Structure 1
Amino acid sequence: MKKQHGFTLVELLVVIAIIALVVVFAALAVNAARAKERDASRLANVRIVQSALEDYFNETNAYPEGELLPLGDVAQSTCLASEGFAGDCSTAESMFLRIVPGTYEDGLDGLVTCGEPSRRAFCYTVLQDGESYVIHFELENALAPVGLQAGVNCATPEGMEAGICAE
């Protein structure tokens, strides 16, 4: 009697199932890591804008004009110069932020929208005749170490907080 070499059908199916599970878990881990990276970039971009706004305030004693202004919008807020947010700052006297960063739209639920036409963005509004501002922004995940939640969050001159800003 000859001994057969090789794998049975059941053994092959078990191996294929294990490989498929590993691939699924790896894909889930990669997607979660990408979402966290996008949120970290969004948070860094908001902080960059906040820093430029403080520089602007220190020079002009007011924050730039804007109501539900989509930051990073090509027509309205590509840059921040001495005249405020603008689509083109090539003739500006002084520059505070050459390129105003926008948000990464991937993964967002569209909870924060502004502009014409309305789109997902960091939405800037000046308050109290230039004495303060709010920036509403959206995150995919909660960032507990900094007290932010998944969904709508708020940035002001005092810092960042979870939820919609009181205006």
Structure 2
Amino acid sequence: MFPTGGGGRKSNLRPINVLKLSRGFTLVELLVVIAIIGILATLLLLQLGTARSKARDASRIAHINQVRSAVEFFFDDNGKYFDSTTMTTLKGLTQIPRDLLAADCTNNVYDGRTSGAAQCYGYAWSPAANPIKYHIWAELEVWAKALDQDTDINSTGWSGAPVNGGVDAKTNCTPAASDCVYDQGQP
């Protein structure tokens, strides 16, 4: 109790609690926090999609480099590169990473400048008999730094699945276009 200032009498007044303690969150505070969490989750999901595309492209680049090594080893042993006859007799190679001799992009091989051509692989060779040139390539989903270090071969007119691998400029490499060709080979 507090002294009243007069003669030792005590007052029955209680002290006033100036600060009132709140025991919960207001609806506005909860809505703001939920909105912030929603925005952050959306940004995170957008980044995951890009990361997945880049991971699939890295896998395609690794496939092309592995098959390139196999093609070079074949050349060392046989004095020529694969053609359609040797491709089909070598078990397993026609399915690594996909059938490199299929007929169109919807069946996993590039058929020209078609939209939505991502995930295509192809192999072309020249001349048709006893090939001394080859071109192995994959269609990437997004532009990658590896496109600056690939071979950029134009195999138009060759046997197999030819493509102009020189069309991989960063400005042309979009999900709607088929201009992200990562290629290796012997021009």
TM-score tier after normalising by the smaller chain length = 0.5 to 0.7
For 1:40, the aligned partner's letter is: A
Contact 1:136 1:152 in 2 (8 A): no
CA RMSD of aligned residues (A): 3.2
Q: Is the 8 A contact 2:140 2:182 kept in 1?
A: no
1:9 and 1:85 map into 2 onto residues whose CA distance is 67
Greater alpha carbon shift after TM alignment, 136-145 vs 28-37: 136-145
Q: Aligned to 2:52, what secondary structure does the other structure show?
A: helix
Structure 1 stretches (4+) deviating beyond 6 angstroms?
none
Residues 18-56 of structure 1 show CA distances to partners (whole Å, capped at 9, x for unaligned) of 110111111112111111110000000000111000001
Residue in 2 aligned with 1:119? 107
Relative to 1, partners in 2 of residues 1:135 and 1:152: Cα closer, same or farther, differing over 3 Å?
farther
* Corresponding residue number in structure 2 for 1:6: 24
Q: Secondary structure at the match of 1:7?
A: coil
Question: Matched residues in 2 for 1:145 and 1:153: separation?
Answer: 10
What CA distance in whole angstroms lies between the structure 1 residues aligned with 2:182 and 2:47? Answer: 28
1:139 aligns with 2:167: no
Gap runs ≥5 in structure 1: 67-82, 91-96, 104-112, 159-166
In structure 1, how many angstroms separate the alpha carbons of the residues matched to 2:122 and 2:94? 18
**Contact 1:136/1:154 (CA < 8 Å) preserved in 2?**
yes
Whichever residue aligns with residue 85 of structure 1, its letter is M
Shift of 1:88: 6.8
TM-score scaled by structure 1?
A: 0.63
1:96-150 residue CA offsets vs partner (Å, 9 max, x unmatched): x6962239xxxxxxxxx94269423311111124010122321111122551643
Most deviating of 10-19 and 113-122:
113-122
2:147–2:182 Cα contact (<8 Å) kept? no
Greater strand proportion: 1
- More deviation in 132-141 or 50-59? 132-141
